[in-house]
Structure 1
Amino acid sequence: MVRLLGKRLCCLIVGLFLTLAHGSESQQAQEVEALVKNAIAYVKANGKEAALREFVNPKGAFIKGDLYLFVYNAQGVALAHINDKMIGKNMLDLRDADGKLVIKTVLSLGNSKSGKGWQTYKWPNPVTKEVSVKRSYTERYEGLYISSGYYK
């Protein structure tokens, strides 16, 4: 009887943990989408140039730890990124640790019928400095491919 109760309790704890982990990921996805939509609203209200400056401001509203924006034009040139060495460079052929063409996928998502979408790839986490699985969301607005993502 005690063993059966212990097994049930263990299963309950594991189930609760998986539910919380899934809820956390769902919440992260919502935060990412909200950040991208807020960025689009910022572009609408302040113009592209002011928005791109704000998107890379480390004390601004668009960088929160490992949550940040990355913005490309239709040619794959980085217009905003937490890694300032990437800004102004054509990143179209950039591949992740598994060889996936990350920026080509960003453009493909933005050029889709809906103009938005999600992708998963491996990317260096700016906080931990380790390559991690990242899930990112992209929306196209007036020639900008605005993306953000969270690390799993």
Structure 2
Amino acid sequence: MNLFKNLLCVMLITVLLLAVAGCVQSEKTVVIEQEEQINENEQNELLVQKENSMSLVNAAIDLMNEKGELAFDDFREKDSQWYHNNSYITVWTTEGIRVVFPPKVSGEGENVSDLKDYNGKPLGRMLIDTALREDGEGWVNYDWPKPGETEPSKKCTFTKRTSIGNQTYLVHSGFYVDDYVYNKNLEDIEDINYFGDATVRNLINPNRVEMDMDMDIDYSIAHFTVKTGATLDSLIMKNPETYYVIEGEGMLYIEDVPFELKKGQLVLVPANAKQYIKNTGDVDLELLSINQPAWEPQNEIILE
């Protein structure tokens, strides 16, 4: 009898373990399927571009393995898979001698091991050291002006080590990050609206971005500066509007009910509510205004 009970217990425990294992396996399967779906359908443009740069470098190395240094002429050919717009293949020696540089062929042969980026970072050494480490490849991030511009942009470059015979080369290709990620400083915002005693800068608004980029958002963020003692005109937004105070003090009136504004304060104004703001402090009142959907003139009604 005891033997039967023991066998029964063993069988029950086995069934439970199998059930748990099945659940864990099912959960793992679901996670893997979800990750595959994200990878196939929802990759962001930045990730896609990083993969493109890596693929271009790897393809260039494959061509070098096939044609040797004769591949260098292919890399210099404009409007080819190797060189178009701001995308190109660069080849260095491990000493930092620039062997292939399509944007400026006259710069080939120069030693650029001491090259620095816009902010003084040792770009040359960073590229060399990254490619010479054990795994032989990696990414380098730095600041560099786009062609024809003087102010820097964030650039991301993939570099990889390879060899032709006894000669070791570093092959790299990069891209400007802000072509794929919206990235702005307040002082860089050119779209500035002045009205009365306030300044408005549209930090981000998918309806007002002059660039070929699908932002995939339906909200906007604006930076308000209200001068000391100033009161903004009453208005109504057809959508909810959120204010977040960065600096200063003031009062936000919603249907004539006062709400204190101070640093770190957040207030949500309901849709279709009358509102106006008054700076009650001794410094400029700075705040963020967040609208969803993104701000458009037809959603705002200025009251007299």
TM-score range, shorter chain: 0.7 to 0.9
Mapping of residues 10-89 of structure 1, within 5 Å: 23-48=44-69, 50-81=70-101, 82-89=103-110
Q: Distance in 2 between matches of 1:32 and 1:103?
A: 19
For 1:125-144, what per-residue CA distance to the aligned partner results, in whole angstroms no more than 9, with x for missing partners?
Answer: 23x53531100000000111
Identical columns (%):
25
Confirm whether residue 145 of structure 1 aligns to residue 170 of structure 2: yes
- What's the offset of the Cα at 1:118? 0.3
Name the one with the larger strand percent.
Answer: 2
Q: Distance in 2 between matches of 1:55 and 1:78?
A: 13
After TM superposition, give the deviation of residue 84 of structure 1 in Å: 1.8
Structure 2: 5+ residue runs without aligned partners? 1-41, 178-304
| Alignment TM-score, normalising by the size of structure 2 | 0.41
| CA offset digits 1:97-123 (Å, max 9, x no partner) | 111111211110111010000010012
What is aligned with 1:107? 128
The whole-number CA distance in structure 2 between the counterparts of 1:84 and 1:124 is: 19
Following TM superposition, the consecutive aligned residue runs of length 4 or more in structure 1 with deviations greater than 2 angstroms are 128-131
Q: What runs of 5+ residues in structure 1 fail to find an aligned partner?
A: 1-19
For 1:37 and 1:87, locate their aligned partners in 2 and report how far apart those are by CA, in whole Å.
22
SS at match of 2:106: coil
What RMSD in Å do the two structures reach over aligned CA positions?
Answer: 1.6
Q: TM-score, normalised by structure 1?
A: 0.80
- The answer to which structure has the higher helix fraction is 1
Is contact 2:115-2:122 (8 Å) kept?
yes
Distance 1:84 1:123 in 2: 19
Distance 1:99 1:60 in 2: 32
Structure 1 residue 83, shift from structure 2 partner: 2.0
The 2-side partners of 1:23 and 1:111 are apart by 30
Instruction: Give distance in 2, aligned partners of 1:124 and 1:69.
Output: 18
DSSP-derived class of the 2:107 partner? coil
Deviations 1:24-45 (A, max 9, x none): 1101101100000000000011
1:93 equivalent in alignment to 2:118: no
Counterpart CA distance in 1 for 2:72 and 2:79 is 14
Whole-Å Cα distance in 2 between the matches of residues 54 and 105 of structure 1? Answer: 26
Contact 2:118 2:145 in 1 (8 A): no
Kindly provide the amino acid, as one letter, of the partner of residue 75 in structure 2.
F
Q: Distance in 2 between matches of 1:56 and 1:42?
A: 13
1: CA distance, partners of 2:157 / 2:98: 16
Whole-Å separation in 2 of the counterparts to 1:123 and 1:87:
19
1:124 deviates by: 2.7
Q: Which of 1 and 2 has greater Rg? A: 2
